[in-house]
Structure 1
Amino acid sequence: MNEIIDSSDTFTSGTVPIPGQGGDEIAAYLARPLAAEPRGGVVVLHHMPGYDEAHKEITRKFAAHGYLAIMPNLHFRDAPGADPDDAAAANRANGGVPDARLVGDVEAAAAYLRGMPNSNGKVGVIGYCSGGRQAFLAACTVDLDAAVDCYGAFVTAHSPDGFPIAVPPIVGLAPELRCPLLGLFGADDKFPAPGETAELSAVLTELGKEFEFHTYEGAGHAFFSTNRPAYRPEAAVSGWARVFDFFGRHLNTP
């Protein structure tokens, strides 16, 4: 039987409890490399459909690339122990994830990563769909080293009538942006539409914030999602390259 002799690219993963906002214990999915060398951490924020296998795979992808990674279950309080679809439905019925709760959960997840023995103390956040908006929110309210917004809607605009939940804009927080921001968007997306990302870009430019936005032609919402018809391979491959370059510059040990 062959044995693994080099742990530099091996990792372990599984569910752990963490103290979320207000001291509530919530579930989180942790993926961590086994090698002892110090490394940066990434908080992964899942999309509105929930804490699902696709986003656990994304969390493992960061560990395979050498990062400590954790995804808090943002819907855990709405339906503890429920499958992602039922928990997401319960969360929508409750009006979505409150912004204050999200901030507390990200703070807790970042503290968990920084407390790990092979952490270098640097932590970033990445979010998809609703998680993209939440990544921007966290970047303006939590001490982080980098943030990635993947097609997060309702940063500059309010959710429309008939949307499953009421989501207010948070562009007013832009002056408080605490870390470099990477934004990845689709030109065919409606939430956010290109005009909304252009508006946010103009605000951040006027404020002198460090950011870079990239919009992919022929891609719409959820173009990273390999398990959905919206998946666009060229945009996703390019997007992942930009994510790892960005986190490499801001989270790796000098």
Structure 2
Amino acid sequence: MQAGSVTITGHGGDEIEAYLATPLDGGPRGSVVVIHHMPGYDASTKEIVRRFAVEGYAALCPNLYHREAPGAAPDDAAAAVRALGGVPDERLVGDVGGAAAHLRGLDGSNGKVGTIGYCSGGRHSFLAACSLELQAAVDCYGAFVVNDPPPNIPKAMQPLLHLAPELSCPLLGLFGADDKFPAPDETAKLAAELERLGKPHEFHTYDGAGHSFFSVDRPSYRPEAAVDGWQQILSFYGTHLAS
């Protein structure tokens, strides 16, 4: 694989930084837009991008904070964007759409693109899948899809359940039973609404896991849940994104 920073065209024609990793085989291959979490465009997110390239997918993470803090450290960029109320939903959709277009234009692309996001990125993955034509979406413990956020959360994080009728692709959801944002009752409401609408979805909730159970560098890391979660992700993408 090869990996590095590139420039892509995002929302409104803006040129923004992104991190791209691609396998060295000739393809054809599916692609994944990795949507970074609220802490920003950081090393752990870039590691996830490279993981997908190792697994045979082209993967791209747009820097959603590039406009406010180009070149800044992830913590500083995240603080600047939080102070402004977070990333507007319209801009998020435009940036993910630009990332998907960039991936589809790469040599070896089979034209199929999925999204994945963790924490706020999980919410954004659902938002993108309801706003763009995608082939698969993964929501890893994305909060505020159903319930209102608490006062300390950026104002851009508003519920999205009303967009469920527009979901364009199958959705995989991976959640922790001990999480509060989203709590199991929130993910159950989302599953019930998707079931009512006839939208294909597959949800897994892990006992003993809370928020950020995929994060290997945090006390919240739960190896058994994370290992099974990765297996679910790769199986899901193998079904919906493979050639």
TM-score by length of 1: 0.94
Unaligned runs of 5+ in 1: 1-10
Aligned match of 2:82 in 74, 84, 92? Answer: 92
Match of 2:52 among 62, 75, 78: 62
Cα separation, 1, equivalents of 2:66 and 2:27: 32
Question: CA–CA distance in 1 between the matches of 2:219 and 2:234?
Answer: 24
Whole-Å separation in 2 of the counterparts to 1:188 and 1:164: 23
- SS of the equivalent of 1:78 reads coil
- 1:244 & 1:166 partners in 2: Cα distance? 30
Give the aligned residue type for 1:85: D
**Structure-to-structure mapping, 1:7-86, within 5 angstroms:** 11-86=1-76
What is the CA deviation profile of residues 60-103 of structure 1, one whole-angstrom value per residue up to 9, with x for unaligned ones? Answer: 00000000000000111110110100000001011101000000
**Structure 1 counterpart of 2:105, one-letter code:** G
Q: 2:232 aligns with which of 221, 242, 250?
A: 242
Query: Are the structure 2 counterparts of residues 80 and 19 from structure 1 closer, same or farther at C-alpha, using a change threshold of 3 Å?
Result: same
Q: Say whether the 8 Å CA contact 1:159–1:166 is kept in structure 2.
A: no
Q: How far 1:166 sits from its partner (Å)?
A: 5.1
Which letter maps to 1:129?
C
CA contact (8 A) 2:145 2:159 kept: yes
Segments of 5+ residues of structure 2 without an aligned counterpart are none
Q: Work out the CA distance in 1 between the residues paired with 2:39 and 2:74.
A: 7
Which residue is equivalent to 1:173?
163
RMSD, aligned α-carbons: 0.8
Q: What is the Cα deviation at residue 163 of structure 1?
A: 3.0
Task: Kindly indicate whether residue 153 of structure 2 is the aligned counterpart of residue 163 of structure 1.
Answer: yes
Deviations 1:211-237 (A, max 9, x none): 000000000000000011110000000
> What is the alpha-carbon distance in structure 1 between the residues aligned to residue 16 and residue 157 of structure 2?
23
How many residues are treated as equivalent by the alignment?
A: 243
User: What is the aligned-residue identity percentage?
Assistant: 67
Please tell me whether the aligned partners of residues 87 and 156 of structure 2 are also in contact (alpha carbons under 8 angstroms). Answer: no
**TM-aligned CA distance change 1:80 to 1:160, over 3 Å:** same
Contact 2:38–2:120 (CA under 8 A) maintained in structure 1: yes
Give the structure with higher Rg (CA): 1
Deviation (angstroms), 1:160? 1.3
Superimposed CA distance per residue, residues 143-176 of structure 1 (whole angstroms, 9 cap, x where no aligned partner): 1000000000000011112335452101000000
- Counterpart residue type for residue 172 of structure 1: H
Residues 109-128 of structure 1, C-alpha deviation per residue, up to 9 Å, x if partnerless?
Answer: 00000000110000000000
Query: 1:37 Cα shift?
Result: 2.0
The equivalent residue for 1:186 is 176
Give the letter for the 1:162 counterpart: N
Match of 2:213 among 223, 226, 242: 223
Equivalence for 1:212: 202
Matched to 1:62, the amino acid is: F
- Equivalent residues of 2:134, 2:168 under 8 A apart: yes
TM-score by length of 2: 0.99
Does residue 102 in structure 1 map to residue 61 in structure 2? no
